[in-house]
Structure 1
Amino acid sequence: MGIEHPKYRVAVVQAAPAWLDLDASVDKSIGLIEEAASKGAKLIAFPEVFIPGYPWHIWLDSPAWSIGRGFVQRYFDNSLAYDSPQAEKLRQAVRKAGLTAVIGLSERDGGSLYIAQWLIGPDGETIAKRRKLRPTHAERTVYGEGDGSDLAVHDRADIGRLGALCCWEHLQPLSKYAMYAQNEQVHVASWPSFSLYDPFAPALGAEVNNAASRVYAVEGSCFVLAPCATVSQAMIDELCDRPDKHALLHAGGGFAAIYGPDGSQIGDKLAPDQEGLLIAEIDLGAIGVAKNAADPAGHYSRPDVTRLLLNKKPSKRVEQFALPVDSVEPADIAAAAS
């Protein structure tokens, strides 16, 4: 008698953000969540920092220009705090839709921002709040970093073992292996857009980065949902204030994709400037067949030759402590009193 493996529909977002507008970003995200639910999806995946959009200004000019144009202030003000009414609105929308959502956002925590992915279950409760371990290149002028606890896979009864990474985290072999070793079944690979420095920087383009998503699927023997934002003409009009900047960033750049554990691309594709949802049905039974050939953290590994050290302890910027009374010398007390 055969075992019944979970089969269900997934939705992958390809759309332009409501750039630097938190409330409009939340509303647009909710609209996509509702559309995914209406199409029978049990899981929806959003691009990197879809709320409130990717900070393209950091790649186009100096930090002084970004500050002077107001982009730095606006980006901070329109990033999402988890204790905000906007976050609660999102959470309730996911609960009402009855699906699981992996939402890409710029997280505001105190005075810092982080590239974050918020995993919300169909009951509206948080599965995880993860941060990109190390922002890439110019992103470090905007965002802080995560820690080893963000390399996590979550066992969900309805959709399988779910994990997520952002953008060039998919070029980090050790981070990828940490995820594979947790028997990930469905992976969300969130990307911003593939129109920056095109065509003279192939490493930032669609061909290379979709290849990274595809290789992740084969290496991890898992399904990879790769949402990808587009750049709207309205964003170009605001960002490109000199003729030469139009060569640095183009409208479009959307190349969302879904890959199976054998590396095959499944589901439809959209034009690079087209907004919408990729819908596909996935069958977790295909994972066992793929892993039969190569399980990188199982039978296809050689831990006697190479092994991964993984520190999953959350980092703390401040550790509160107090000295026990009996550890304070009388001379210290006298000195403090004087």
Structure 2
Amino acid sequence: MPQDLPRFTAAAVQAAPVYLDPDATVDKAVALIAEAARNGAQLVVFPEVFVPGYPYWNWTMNPIQGSPWFERLQRAAVDLPGPHVEALCAAARRAGVVLVIGVNERAAHSLGALYNTMLTIGPDGTLLGAHRKLVPTWAEKLTWTPGDGSSLRVHDTPVGPLGVLACGENTNPLARFTLLAQGELVHAASYIALPVAPEDYDMAEAIALRAAAHCFEGKVFTVVSCSTVSPEIVDLIAGEDQELRKQLARPRSALSGVFGPDGRPVVEPLVDEEGIVYAEIDLARCIQPKQMHDIVGHYNRFDVFRLHVDPRPHRPVLFPDGSKEDE
């Protein structure tokens, strides 16, 4: 790990996609990347499945009603590699930023498999990683196929050792520990606005709580990016259902911001509204707190506890000659 730890500006984007339109959503992302770079950002983090949006119908319709919407999402999903990813890589290269952005990834081997995928792109436009959400949460299982351990990697970037998780994965202590144990100092946590959560669930509070926990436990910085629910999304999902329209407009459904190694917000988080949160990150602030609690070092008992992670990609078929090992 370098002695000269980076200081940089991080940008957490809180925005809605152009719903189910991957071309227009990528165009919007490219414009926001350029805006963040003009304001000095060296790390830009976007929401979960920003391209081209979140399957809210899983929460508001029964599976039969939602099935045509799954097909719409499948047709609008992103290929990896593919032109939409190339456009995002080019935008990161032009802006000279490290980019984290969520996409719906269309599987190469099956029309029925979609992945909730987080892309990490370097400032030279190189795709560093594509992390597929390990476990779709609750109703999300109607849409996404689970990922595997091959993408639980921390990437060496100009802004420091960077790891990413999507939404509910940030409640998984083993997934988080896997990243911390690889030297993670900067964590990107991407979410979607969830106005369809149970009545007693405050999504903004839940996001802040998860970010604070990971930061305090690991003595790291977390950049949180959450989507918003646009009027377009409300119109498409709710139609004339006034009760559902009211539910989709529920306040405190989104929070974006940056949290420090003490678990506190570095700057005031943004709640519900579209915008970009900027914060200065100094990774040297991670050193002294680790003297007290270093859960991947002296504050652990590796003779007592041992975590085994399977890093192998899970593929539908393997041939002895290796000819079909890659999807």
> Do these two structures clear the TM 0.5 threshold for a shared fold by scoring above it?
yes
User: 1:281 aligns to what?
Assistant: 280
Give me the TM-score of the superposition, normalised by structure 1.
0.89
Contact 1:236–1:251 (CA<8 Å) still a contact in 2?
no
Distance 1:170 1:180 in 2: 12
Contact 2:105–2:114 (CA<8 Å) still a contact in 1?
yes
Larger-Rg structure: 1
1:300/1:54 Cα in 2 relative to 1: closer, same or farther (>3 Å)? same
Give the share of equivalent positions with the same residue, in percent.
Answer: 38
Distance 2:191 2:18 in 1: 16
Give runs of ≥4 in structure 1 deviating > 4 Å: none
Distance 1:83 1:304 in 2: 42
Contact 2:256–2:271 (CA<8 Å) still a contact in 1?
no
Secondary structure of the corresponding residue to residue 41 of structure 1:
coil
User: 1:330 aligns to what?
Assistant: none
User: 1:90 aligns to what?
Assistant: 88
User: 1:300 aligns to what?
Assistant: 299
User: 1:64 aligns to what?
Assistant: 64
1:149/1:7 Cα in 2 relative to 1: closer, same or farther (>3 Å)? same
Once the two structures are superposed, residues 58-93 of structure 1 have per-residue CA deviations (whole angstroms, 9 ceiling, x without a partner) of 1001121123xx422211111111232222122111
Contact 1:48–1:228 (CA<8 Å) still a contact in 2?
yes
Once the two structures are superposed, residues 146-190 of structure 1 have per-residue CA deviations (whole angstroms, 9 ceiling, x without a partner) of 11112111122x211000001111111111111111110000011
Distance 2:316 2:219 in 1: 36
Q: CA deviation at 1:248?
A: 4.0
Contact 1:20–1:78 (CA<8 Å) still a contact in 2?
yes
Secondary structure of the corresponding residue to residue 256 of structure 1:
strand
Is 1:178 aligned to 2:178, yes or no? yes
Residues 231-246 of structure 1: pairs in structure 2 closer than 5 A: 231-241=229-239, 242-246=241-245
Residues 75-114 of structure 1: pairs in structure 2 closer than 5 A: 75-110=73-108, 111=111, 112-114=113-115
Please tell me the root mean square deviation across aligned C-alpha atoms, in Å.
Answer: 1.6
Distance 1:292 1:169 in 2: 27
User: 1:329 aligns to what?
Assistant: none
Distance 1:305 1:278 in 2: 41
Q: CA deviation at 1:125?
A: 0.8
Distance 1:174 1:317 in 2: 25
Distance 2:275 2:129 in 1: 26
Contact 2:258–2:269 (CA<8 Å) still a contact in 1?
no
* Count of residues in Structure 1 that have an aligned counterpart in Structure 2: 314
Contact 2:137–2:168 (CA<8 Å) still a contact in 1?
yes
Contact 2:21–2:76 (CA<8 Å) still a contact in 1?
yes
Contact 1:189–1:225 (CA<8 Å) still a contact in 2?
yes
1:182/1:83 Cα in 2 relative to 1: closer, same or farther (>3 Å)? closer
Unaligned runs of 5+ in 1: 323-338
Distance 1:250 1:197 in 2: 12
Distance 1:92 1:310 in 2: 33
Distance 2:17 2:250 in 1: 12
User: 1:333 aligns to what?
Assistant: none
Contact 1:10–1:42 (CA<8 Å) still a contact in 2?
yes
Distance 1:172 1:254 in 2: 20
Contact 1:225–1:258 (CA<8 Å) still a contact in 2?
yes
Q: CA deviation at 1:251?
A: 5.7
Residues 107-122 of structure 1: pairs in structure 2 closer than 5 A: 107-110=105-108, 111=111, 112-122=113-123
Q: CA deviation at 1:271?
A: 4.1
Q: CA deviation at 1:196?
A: 2.2
Distance 2:5 2:98 in 1: 18
Distance 1:254 1:191 in 2: 8
User: 2:289 aligns to what?
Assistant: 290
User: 2:213 aligns to what?
Assistant: 215
Is 1:20 aligned to 2:20, yes or no? yes
User: 1:314 aligns to what?
Assistant: 313
Contact 2:204–2:271 (CA<8 Å) still a contact in 1?
no
Q: CA deviation at 1:264?
A: 1.5
